[in-house]
A and B are shown apart, each in its own frame.
Chain A
């Protein structure tokens, strides 16, 4: 090493070291002052030193220390405190990282380490984003890149080292900026916008970067000789982009209920807001369903109404709205209204009626151009497609929210997350803010207590007692559920008998007889309302480890109730009514089932509304006046969401029988929103228990997909596959099963058009053959297994990486203390030398 070890600077050490300890201004207390110094100096010279230090460390480290301190020697204001602490060397070995003991030179080195310059200087951010844009460019150009997209905030050392040779700090930053601008230009527009938005720089700087990027692009654009067809392409792309932006702003302007959601979140926080967001999601699902069925089923049939029924028109009376019967039964609302032949658009106006009473099957009427619309096929395919697309959307949103909230490794940092992530910035109202502070305080105290007393083991008798209480509560819940299910079974049986007896004896149609049909829905809604209260009471006496376990248990009990109720009702409709409709004197069992579902939906809405309006209102009055407590009722999010899911299941069950049911569900959801919001504002208070909104939302979407949608689609598939449609109404009359409509169409297609016989062959061998379905299911299972193995492997990699980070931390500690000890040795040896000199 050709460097001279210069002892002259040590004079300064000596002199500085002899300064009085009272000289406080010389002491560096924090990185803050160093940072200021350093930004004046230019931070990269120290980085250079660091590299050289790393190179030299293999050789003797001593010489480098002198080199190390030489640039800093004119600035060094010694740490006087170190004088006294030298005697305490032994103690420091235990914890050598106390900051006050480091020399300022060491501090300077530390503060210029790459991991610590993140976020401090614009230069660091720019270089980091230069690297990211570089990686993005490489990826887009599909050149194989070994590095994958780095999630860490560290800029690579390479980014620092390469360009610093012989350049000054300012130039480096400017050239880095130019590189970044260059990269930004070469990205596609959407990538560029995404990069710009995600940069943690101020808007002014971002706009500068953007201006530079666009400027250069424009310059290069005008200078080069672009052939006219690619210029046309650019214009088209620009036009498409502009229209896309305007479409996006249009969508954003349609934001439903933005002000209402803001007031709710401002007062009650994210948890309660998630209920209203879930309601909004359900509304969009129903809107989609309504548009599909409306466009393909209701509209064509409404334009070509079938001949009116023989018994003539029934007058409208108010009860129709509740029972769905009466004059509604022969309307576009129900399955039975739809024609089972191909509809034709009339070619001549006089023959309109004539055409419509055409026979089954294909083209009677005008031979010349006509639009034909095969109603049974349309019905079958529309319902099938609607369910399929809903399934895809549900699975997609479920997996997206699952990905966001799933934590691969078990979290250890509960308290840290509570401190940093629990403050809900959406809450605006002063009293709510105070409440939130109190809640967080309580939760932190509870967590501390839990952490401190974790080793408190429960005695055997306590655990036994807890077990007894839990089993008692569960037996109450399961027992009451079974009792209610049996009650519904017998009551529906009784109604069945009642209907049968009235059908056999010719009684006149009276209002009362129709109203009797409402009895079953009322009973079921009452059960749905009262039993969760019983479950809450049972849970009140239980003791849980954590509030989230309590919530999960409550949800599962509620879910069990709703699933069993819906199960028994489906059995009643599909297993009893559909199989032998003649016993009930029903011409059209699908109409009956559709009406039942309409009644159930309506009763559910009425009871929920009444419970919200009166229940919460009365409870608040009661607790204020009688109990004299200021505690208002708490909005039970889980229970309300489960009620929404129940209603949505009914809607999905009913789409096959009542194509207009989604419209009624939309109305119901709209009214429910305003009722719930009004009652919330007037009567309720924010929940006190911690509520993990994103986890809960994931659970609710999963519940919507799995028991709810799956159950409904299984029921609908079963209906289409094996139940005989009624012979006198509906688009499938005369067929053995509804599925046959599709089958016969494919067969017909094959017969009519020999070119398409391949399709018929494919259909008969793939869709109808169970072997194919088994194979497909097997392949899916294998793929899922493969993915779970990948996730396991990633979990292991995460633990390995964590260990590696810890080891790096140890390395860093070691290096810092070595640096420090070498520096001190040097200092003491120099002092000894100079004192020897002076002594001589």
Chain B
């Protein structure tokens, strides 16, 4: 019931996710969670899940949702991650976490270097330097409302509101 109230999953789905979590490392994760053991799965295991394996942002996703910021996730973090990425999470919540994922240097702003890194990960370094620079400038022009040279969370949310596809693309089926 605890997880049910805090995530967007039903009881059955939470159980299913727990078994998925356990399957990653059966020897580390006990079946009995009533004593709330402190178990953390290292990032390598999380990153090897088929849903995340080929995603270029998997490391950032794991870092954002993990407690220690390194990608090592407890069961709570695991459930939180898939709850936000499920189809029932509201747009504001998803926008908040998407902002954190794209903010590579964790300074609560998406600055030019964050944008460049995002772009390179999206296109697997296929764009030339000039093109990357032009795209970053244009994106800043378009999205930076208060003209401080960086995207704050508000700018990002304002842009997301006008993109109806965001809800369907920022979604992982598990």
The interface of chain A, by Cβ under 8 A from chain B, is: 30-32, 35, 97, 99, 115-116, 118-120, 151-154, 193, 196-200, 202-204, 206-207, 210, 245, 248-249, 252-253, 261-262, 265-266, 270, 404-407, 409, 411-417, 419-426, 428-430, 433-434, 437-438, 440-441, 444-445, 448, 451-452, 692-695, 802, 805-806, 808-810, 812-813
B92 at interface by CB-CB < 8 Å: yes
Q: Are A262 and B173 within 8 A (Cβ)?
A: yes
Which residue, of A119, A151, A425, has the highest number of chain B Cβ atoms within 10 A?
Answer: A425
Q: Could you tell me if B127 and A445 are in contact, using CB atoms closer than 8 angstroms?
A: yes
Give the contacting residue for B108; candidates A119, A411, A802; CB below 8 A. Answer: A119
- Tell me the residues in window 1-41 of chain B with beta carbons closer than 8 Å to chain A beta carbons: 2-8, 10-13
What separation, in Å, do the CA atoms of A266 and B122 have in the docked complex? 17
Does residue B129 face the partner (Cβ distance < 8 Å to A)?
Answer: no
Return chain A residues, CB-CB under 8 Å to B85. 425
A412 to B115, CA, bound (A): 18
Known contacts A200-B97, A809-B148; is A694 also within 8 Å of B167 by CB?
yes
Q: Give the 9 A-B residue pairs with the shortest CB-CB distance, closest first.
A: A809-B146, A405-B164, A413-B142, A203-B76, A441-B123, A206-B6, A416-B143, A694-B164, A433-B54
Known pairs A118-B152, A119-B100, A444-B135 / 10 extra A-B pairs, C-beta < 8 Å: A99-B149, A154-B154, A207-B2, A207-B76, A245-B4, A411-B163, A420-B118, A437-B56, A808-B146, A809-B147
Closest B residue, CB atoms, query A805: B145
Q: Once bound together, how far apart are the Cα atoms of A533 and B76, in whole Å?
A: 52
Contact of A413 among B57, B79, B134, B159 (CB under 8 A): B159
Is the beta-carbon distance between A270 and B127 smaller than 8 angstroms?
Answer: no
Are the C-beta atoms of A420 and B6 separated by less than 8 Å? no
Q: Which residue of A lies closest to B4 (CB)?
A: A245
Asked if residues B7 and A448 are in contact (CB atoms below 8 Å), the reply is no
**What per-residue 1/0 map shows which CB atoms of B106-126 lie under 8 Å from chain A?**
111100000100110011101
- Chain B minimum-CB-distance residue to A696: B165
> Do residues B152 and A116 form an inter-chain contact, with CB atoms below 8 A?
yes
| Complex Cα gap A425–B145 (Å) | 27
Which B-chain residue is minimally distant from A409 (CB atoms)?
B162
Chain B residues near A415 (CB-CB < 8 A) = 135, 138-139, 142
- From known contacts A198-B92, A813-B147, infer whether A249 and B12 are also in contact, taking CB-CB under 8 Å: yes
* Contact (Cβ within 8 A) A419 B79: no
Chain B residues in 8 Å Cβ range of A692: 164-165
| Inter-chain contacts of B50 with A (CB < 8 A) | 428
Q: B107 touching A32 by the CB < 8 A rule?
A: yes
Closest to A33 in B: B107
Contacts of B149 in A (CB 8 A): 97, 99
8 Å CB contact of A210 from B6, B80, B96, B153: B6
CB-CB under 8 A from A32, the residues of chain B are: 105-107
- Among B53, B153, B162, the residue within 8 A (CB) of A119 is B153
Report the Cα distance A35→B6, complex, angstroms: 29
Minimum CB distance partner of A698 in chain B = B164
Chain A residues within 8 Å of B118, by CB: 419-420
CB <8 Å contact, A693 and B122: no
Q: Which residue of B lies closest to A189 (CB)?
A: B5
For the complex, give the distance between the alpha carbons of A444 and B21 in Å.
Answer: 37
Instruction: Decide: A270 near B162, CB < 8 A? Known: A196-B6, A197-B5.
Output: no
Residues of A within 8 A of B79 (CB): 203
Known contacts A210-B2, A413-B162; decide if A422 and B138 are in contact (CB<8 Å): no
Q: A270 — which chain B residues lie within 8 A by C-beta?
A: 165, 168-169
In the complex, residue of chain A having the shortest beta-carbon distance to the beta carbon of B131 = A448
Residues of A within 8 A of B135 (CB): 415, 419, 444, 448
Report chain A residues within 8 Å CB of B65.
202
CB proximity of A211 to chain B, nearest CB, Å: 8
Let me know if B157 and A421 touch, CB within 8 A: no
Query: Can you sample 15 A-B contacts with CB below 8 Å?
Result: A30-B107, A31-B108, A116-B108, A199-B93, A200-B97, A203-B7, A249-B11, A261-B173, A265-B173, A413-B139, A419-B139, A420-B163, A421-B169, A422-B165, A444-B131
